[in-house]
Structure 1
């Protein structure tokens, strides 16, 4: 089953969700702002994405700029920050089995579908 970490207020996330829906494959929507992933879940997502934590952070968010920017954070500290402040998580993330894709741009997800 496909999982999409989705923010309904984000245009790119909505576009990606529409692509997943049109694929006809079963999927689950995870509204990560309502149900934030734990640091462990984020670490597992990063492994599937083949990214490091700092590559998944939305560095333009005010919370990042005011509380974390310029600090020398460990991977674990970044994961904890994203779990505490899920707005920091880049979106959308689409997971299918052992692979995951960041849906920015949404066309990236075609390879996974």
Structure 2
């Protein structure tokens, strides 16, 4: 009986993923970005300097949905109240200081008024970080 040789494509696929084998190394990186924000620009540059071209979401133009923001918050491990930019004029106009909001109410406000969302947020697989300071993104970059 004659043994069949392994197909050539097996050899190729077995060597394709040898660089970084951490659990999230092949997940797409996404940055919720405001190009007018210096911290957001610095974070994006650190990602690009690491040789990664992330999906860039200009969240003021394309805000996350309620479900997307809820998932991001879970990955960040924070409550929605921690994501509010309390210095924004809209925060004061809406009378949010000292107001008790449910998780759902806070997420709805952040989605409706994306300028209230702290930035940048970088997501990779099951992990997310807030890029303040920008060096926080190092935790998601290949070592």
TM-score by length of 2: 0.76
Is 2:81 the partner of 1:54?
yes
Shift of 1:50: 0.6
CA distance in structure 2 between the aligned counterparts of 1:49 and 1:74, rounded to whole angstroms:
18
Is 2:94 the partner of 1:45?
no
Shift of 1:25: 2.3
Equivalent position SS for 1:14: helix
Q: Which runs of 5+ in 1 are unaligned?
A: none
Map of 2:138 onto structure 1: 110
Equivalent position SS for 2:52: coil
Q: Which runs of 5+ in 2 are unaligned?
A: 1-27
Shift of 1:27: 1.4
Is 2:110 the partner of 1:82?
yes
Is 2:120 the partner of 1:92?
yes
Runs of 4 or more above 6 Å deviation: none
CA distance in structure 1 between the aligned counterparts of 2:65 and 2:107, rounded to whole angstroms:
8
Q: Higher strand share goes to which structure?
A: 1
CA distance in structure 1 between the aligned counterparts of 2:79 and 2:125, rounded to whole angstroms:
19
Map of 2:18 onto structure 1: none
What per-residue deviation string (whole Å, max 9, x for no partner) do you get for residues 62-93 of structure 1?
11112122322111111011000000000000
Considering only CA atoms, is the larger Rg found in Structure 1 or Structure 2? 2
Shift of 1:35: 0.2
Map of 1:7 onto structure 2: 34
Equivalent position SS for 1:40: helix
User: Aligned Cα RMSD in Å?
Assistant: 0.9
